[in-house]
Structure 1
Amino acid sequence: MKTEKNILRVHSIESFGTHDGPGVRLIVFLQGCKLKCLYCHNPDTISTSGGTLYHTEELVDIALKMKPYFGNKGGVTVSGGEPLLQSKGLVSFFKRLKEEGIHTNIDTNGRILNHFTEELLDKYADLVMLDIKHMTEEGYEAITGMRNKETAFNFAKHREASGKKMWLRYVLIPGITNKPELLHQMGEYFKDYKTIEKIELQPYHKLGIHKWESLGWEYQLKDARENTDEEIDEAVKILEKYFKEVKIN
Structure 2
Amino acid sequence: MTTRPAPPPGRRPGRTDAPTVGYVHSWDISVGVDGPAVRFVAFLAGCPLRCRYCHSPDTWYRRSGRTCTVDELMAEIERYRRFIGIAGGGVTLSGGEPLLQPWFTREVLRRCHDLGLHTALDTSGFLGVRADDDLLDATDLVLLDVKSWNPATYRRVTRTGSVSPTLRFGRRLAQRGTPIWIRFVLVPGLTDAVDNVAGVADFAAGLASVQRVDVLPFHRLGAHKYAELGLTFPLADTEPPDPELLARVRGQFAERGLAVF
Shared fold by TM > 0.5?
yes
Q: State the shift of 1:244 in Å.
A: 3.1
2:3 aligns with: none
Local SS of the residue matching 1:246: coil
User: Where in structure 2 are there 5+ consecutive unaligned residues?
Assistant: 1-6, 12-19
Q: State the shift of 1:192 in Å.
A: 2.5
CA, structure 1 residues 13+115, in 2 after alignment: closer, same or farther (shift >3 Å)?
Answer: closer
- From 70, 74, 80, give the equivalent of 2:95: 80
Q: Can you list the C-alpha shifts for 1:126-180, whole angstroms capped at 9, x where unaligned? A: 0000101111111111111112210100110111111110111011011211222
- Percent identity between matched residues is 30
CA, structure 1 residues 116+152, in 2 after alignment: closer, same or farther (shift >3 Å)?
Answer: closer
1:4 and 2:10 are equivalent in the alignment:
yes
Q: State the shift of 1:14 in Å.
A: 0.2
1:44 and 2:58 are equivalent in the alignment:
yes
Local SS of the residue matching 2:29: strand
1:120 aligns with: 135
1:182 and 2:196 are equivalent in the alignment:
yes
Q: CA RMSD for the aligned pairs?
A: 1.6
- From 101, 106, 119, give the equivalent of 2:116: 101
- From 72, 75, 84, give the equivalent of 1:61: 75
Q: How many pairs are equivalent?
A: 246
Q: State the shift of 1:119 in Å.
A: 2.7
Q: State the shift of 1:30 in Å.
A: 0.3
List, as ranges, runs of 4+ consecutive aligned residues in structure 1 with deviation greater than 2 Å. 15-18, 113-119
Contact 1:198 1:243 in 2 (8 A): no
TM-score normalized by the length of structure 1: 0.93
- From 202, 212, 222, give the equivalent of 1:208: 222
2:125 aligns with: 110
Contact 2:128 2:169 in 1 (8 A): yes
Contact 1:2 1:86 in 2 (8 A): no
User: Where in structure 1 are there 5+ consecutive unaligned residues?
Assistant: none
- From 113, 131, 141, give the equivalent of 2:155: 141
Local SS of the residue matching 2:241: coil
**In structure 1, what is the Cα distance between the partners aligned to 2:258 and 2:200?**
14
Local SS of the residue matching 1:169: strand
